[in-house]
Amino acid sequence: MRRLPLIVALLFTAANLPAQAVDDGLMMPRKTLSTGVMYAHDSWSQYWEGTLKRSNGNIGTLTTQTTTLVGHYGVTDRLTVVAMVPYVTTDASQGTLHGLSGVQDVTVAAKYQLFATRFTERGTLSALAVGAAGIPATNYTPDFQPLSIGLASRHATGRFTLHFETTGSWFIEGSAAHTWRNKVTLDRPAYYTNGQLYLTNEVAMPQVAEYKASTGFRKKRVFIPISITQQRTLGGSDIRRQDMPFVSNRMDFVKAEASVMYGLTVPTDLGVQIGVARTLSGRNVGQATTIMLGVLHTFHL
């Protein structure tokens, strides 16, 4: 029911605001390292049980807090590597269910710029290929949704991004990704899902497709992106009526997101960010509002 903490993709660097996300069309300059912390506060009181929107007195308001350490490094002007590690805490305001906390998944990614070329007289068009992989950092349980801190599945993602930036500093871009997820192991010998009993502790996880469209303004120390993201699970079942969510449930959503990023002049190379996201529609997810705060420092090596 809770969404994976993809909000870590909103960090940035302050000097000239180069690469700030795995799913954007920007790159880090060569031999530049940026490290920082991102905090996200995500909460919902209503969710979609399949296509039925409802609330649940045994949960009340579910709050997820995520603090993520992020690092970006420009290997070359065309190759950027990214690493991130989130610490997640969940809590339900009602009922007897206790929240969980811990380090979730370690994720590493590489962004490669395929080309950047002048596209008419109005701006520059660039294309990027991205590969990412993640593994659980701790032995947390995925079998306590929606209070689990993650899905505990090893995963790999391939992404393609097109980015067009005008000479007036406005930009528009589109991104598409496909994620492959490995089986998840439960701490029980059997489970029931999708109308069938499985006499095993291994759960096959459906693959996931994601599409994102963004626009905004980027100039010197200011970066203002606005985006719409759609996630579609390629398989999986709905939450059974009056039941807890299951790790392999279909988790679909459409989310709107906006943020303002600003590079401070004193001290130099320090940037701050604030953003907000809202789930507009979904299936087996909460209708969440997310508030994001971040700070990042850039080192020129």
pLDDT tens digits along 177-216:
999 999 999 999 999 999 999 999 999 999 999 999 999 9
The single residue listed with the structure tokens 């996931």 is: 208
> Cα separation of 167 and 80, whole Å?
24
The single-letter code of the amino acid at 33 is: L
Q: What is the pLDDT of residue 3?
A: 44
Q: What is the pLDDT of residue 18?
A: 45
Q: Are 57 and 74 in contact (CB under 8 A)?
A: no
Distance of alpha carbon 264 from the chain centroid: 26
Per-residue confidence at 10, pLDDT binned at 50, 70, 90?
A: very low
Contacts of 176 (CB under 8 A, 6+ apart): 159, 160, 209, 210, 211, 212
Q: Are 204 and 194 in contact (CB under 8 A)?
A: no
Q: Are 88 and 102 in contact (CB under 8 A)?
A: yes
Q: Is 6 helix (H, G, I), strand (E, B) or coil?
A: helix
Q: What is the mean pLDDT of residues 34-55?
A: 97
From residue 204, give the alpha-carbon distance in Å to each of 106, 154, 190, 200. Answer: 21, 12, 13, 11
Q: What is the mean pLDDT of residues 135-164?
A: 97
Provide φ and ψ at 10, rounded to 5°.
-105, 10
Per-residue confidence at 30, pLDDT binned at 50, 70, 90?
A: very high
Q: What is the mean pLDDT of residues 246-264?
A: 95
Q: What is the mean pLDDT of residues 292-300?
A: 93
Q: What phi-psi label fits residue 75: left (phi over 0), alpha (psi between -120 and 50 degrees) or beta?
A: alpha
CB atoms within 10 A of CB 268: 11
Mean pLDDT (the chain) is: 91
> Cα separation of 182 and 74, whole Å?
30
- For the chain, what's the residue count? 301
Contacts of 56 (CB under 8 A, 6+ apart): 47
The answer to whether the Cα torsion of 74, 163, 212, 63 is positive or negative is positive
Predicted confidence (pLDDT) at residue 77 exceeds the cutoff of 60: yes
Q: Are 273 and 301 in contact (CB under 8 A)?
A: no
Predicted confidence (pLDDT) at residue 282 exceeds the cutoff of 70: yes
> Cα separation of 209 and 226, whole Å?
20
What percentage of the chain carries pLDDT values higher than 70?
Answer: 92
- Give bridge partners of residue 248 from the DSSP assignment: none
Q: What is the pLDDT of residue 168?
A: 85
Q: Is 252 helix (H, G, I), strand (E, B) or coil?
A: strand
Q: What is the pLDDT of residue 23?
A: 85
Reported pTM: 0.92
Which domains, and CATH codes, for the chain? 6-300 (2.40.160.40)
Per-residue confidence at 220, pLDDT binned at 50, 70, 90?
A: confident
- Give bridge partners of residue 261 from the DSSP assignment: 223, 273
- Token reading at 34: 């940026």
The conformation of residue 267, written as its DSSP 8-state character, comes to S
